[in-house]
Chain A
Amino acid sequence: MIDVNVYLHRWPFRRVPGDEPEALVAKLRAAGVTQAWCGSFDALLHRDIAAVNSRLAVECRKFGPGFLEPFGAVNPTLPDWQDDIRRCQETHSMKGIRLHPNYHGYKLDDPRVVELLSAAAARKLLVQIAVTMEDERTQHPLVQVPHVDLAPLVAQLESLTALRVVVLNAFRGAKVDVVDKLASSRRAWFEIATKENVAGVEALVQQVGHERVLFGSYAPLFIHESAVWKLRESPLGGGQLEAIQTGNARQLIGAA
């Protein structure tokens, strides 16, 4: 099983069970995870993103090759962000990057985003975009962060034909018609951490097709069992379960 939505380092607003990497890795392995794509919570608010990415790469390597796959952060509002993306690939051998447009204060129709997505596509880096990190109703009163509006991404996927995007934590904030349009590009994927409703994964498969759905837990901030039990809650037959758990993600990262 490949978990495409995992974080290392510290959630800024509380300590979380499993926020030490050893505990997290033990939990993931016990659940049958064979690979986890990891970003960093430090990347949300730290501005020395190069140091965050270095720590992330070092931390991931400790647990053996290919188990924790680091996805470095790039913030296009920072000076010389272009060198962060270069380092992610050339120094840290990352397969992809993870963006937090809302915490970094830009919208996806920003001209810098086009440059960033073009650079990632040219390097064949996977791009993960996190729509929401916390229920807007419980956010710290001094740190109120809106959901990312994914609408501009539809046109970007049309013009950048090598771009592949994994949308994280989509379902509190993303509009249904935007999800449909992104799915029909066939170069956007969605993971299930924030998919709610009873038998929600079954509904998501009906909406976007099982080829577009990935297993993601948002551990350790979300309890890992949540995503695991969602697969039990929804009837997934005919190869759908294997595709969602492993096959789709393996294909994606294999091409990176």
Chain B
Amino acid sequence: MIWDLHCHLSGVTGRTPAERMGRLIEIADRVGIERLCFYMGMTWTKEPTPEDLQKQNDEVLEALQHYHDRAFGFCYVSGDHVEKSLSEIERCIAAGPMVGIKLWVAHHCNDPAIDPIIRRAAELKAVIYQHTWLKTDGTTYPGESSPYDLVELAKRHPRTPLILGHTGGQWELGIRAVRAYPNVSIDIAGSDPTAGLVEMAVRELGAERVIYGSDCGGRSFASQIAKVHGAEISEREKRLIFKENLKRMLMPILKAKNVQV
């Protein structure tokens, strides 16, 4: 069975978070995905206001309501709004059901200003996910982090587990960039099902640092699952990537919250 690190309520039909969730679970069932981690809401903006963060977190909370046995929520936060991010972490994680944080674009993650967010998330044992995309075609979004930005963050928080979103986009560079920082794992979601990506990641980082995610609904579950199923690696390594690594990262906060899995 598969745990999916990277799911959204966008890119799928449905008028409400609950409808979209129902649709995604129905499709996830066809391809053997057991648990899904959700972050961000039904519509996105590249420079979210504090109100946007709250509204999108509300949508995820609503979507989770009837699916606590299938889905986890990550709290959407932003380095542009540190105070609001900290209060959203209290509301959604400390006092709510969420188990991780998601940092997207708008604010580079190398900025020490985001450290209070990272520290509070770490105290709560929340999983910390940072989107990264290193692009060669010049379409980088304002404040979009690169793997090099994440490395600076990882150096400041060497004992805090961090996740490099999208393996940095240009994965041949992303994998190399984080190789020397064992607190950084990689998310393989949200890129074309290019042969060799997972093999290189396992070779350079070890399978324990590689985590399956899809980036659904914009991506197909199938194309992302295939990256692992089709990789020339062992069955044990596939099990780690599909489920065990993410489960291991989530267990401390799930235990603290008394969530049975």
Residues of chain B in range 212-239 having any CB-CB distance to chain A below 8 Å: 216-223, 225-227, 229-232
* Least CB distance, A29 to chain B, in whole angstroms: 15
Is the CB–CB distance between A222 and B137 below 8 Å?
no
**Within 8 Å of chain B (Cβ to Cβ): is A18?**
yes
In whole angstroms, how far apart are the Cα atoms of A139 and B191 in the complex?
Answer: 13
Asked whether B226 lies within 8 Å of A225 as measured between CB atoms, the reply is yes
Residues in B with CB closer than 8 Å to A14 are: 172, 196
Let me know if A197 is at the binding interface, CB within 8 A: yes
Which residues of A lie under 8 Å from residue B221 when comparing CB positions?
A: 198, 229, 233
Q: Find out whether the CB atom of B223 lies under 8 angstroms from the CB atom of A136.
A: no
**Is B180 an interface residue, CB under 8 A from the partner?**
no
8 A Cβ contacts from A9-24 to B: 14-18
The reply to whether B220 and A137 contact each other, CB–CB distance below 8 Å, is: no
Cβ of B156 within 8 Å of any chain A Cβ, yes or no, is no
A15 vs B172: C-alpha distance when bound (angstroms): 12
Say whether, besides A198-B12, A233-B220, A141 and B136 are in contact (CB < 8 Å). Answer: yes
Would you call A233 and B30 a contact (CB within 8 A)? Answer: yes
Contact A226 B222 (CB under 8 A): yes
- Among A199, A200, A227, A233, the one with the most B-chain Cβ atoms within 10 Å of its Cβ is A199
B218 touches A229 (CB 8 A): no
A224 at the interface (CB under 8 A from B): yes
- Of B133, B216, B225, which is within 8 A of A137 by CB? B133
Looking at chain B, what size class is its interface with the partner chain? 35 or more
Q: Please, which residue of chain A has its CB at the minimum distance from the CB of B171? A: A138
Most A Cβ at <10 Å: residue of B23, B191, B220, B225: B220
Bound complex: CA of A231 vs CA of B118, how far in Å? 41
A196 to B11, CA, bound (A): 10
Q: Are A223 and B218 in contact (CB under 8 A)?
A: no
- B225 neighbours in A (Cβ, 8 Å): 225, 229
Number of interface residues of A (CB under 8 A): 36
Q: Which residues of B contact A198 (CB under 8 A)?
A: 11-12, 23-24, 27, 216-217, 219-221
Selected from A144, A199, A229, the residue in CB contact (under 8 A) with B226 is A229
Q: Whole-angstrom distance between the alpha carbons of A228 and B225 in the complex?
A: 11
Q: When the two chains form their complex, are residues A222 and B12 in contact, meaning their CB atoms are under 8 A apart? A: no
A223 with B227, Cβ < 8 A, contacts A17-B195, A135-B192 known: yes
* B226 proximity list for chain A (CB < 8 A): 223-226, 228-229
Q: How far is the CA of A136 from the CA of B135 in the complex (A)?
A: 8
B239 to chain A, nearest CB (A): 17
Contact between chains at B30 and A196 (CB < 8 Å) = no
> Within 8 Å of chain A (Cβ to Cβ): is B139?
yes
* Chain B residues in the interface with A (C-beta under 8 A): 11-12, 23-24, 27, 30-31, 133, 135-137, 139, 169-172, 191-196, 199, 216-223, 225-227, 229-232
Interface residues of A (CB under 8 A from B): 14-18, 134-141, 144, 194-200, 219-230, 232-233, 235
> 7 closest A-B pairs (Cβ-Cβ)?
A229-B222, A223-B230, A226-B226, A225-B226, A225-B230, A226-B193, A137-B135
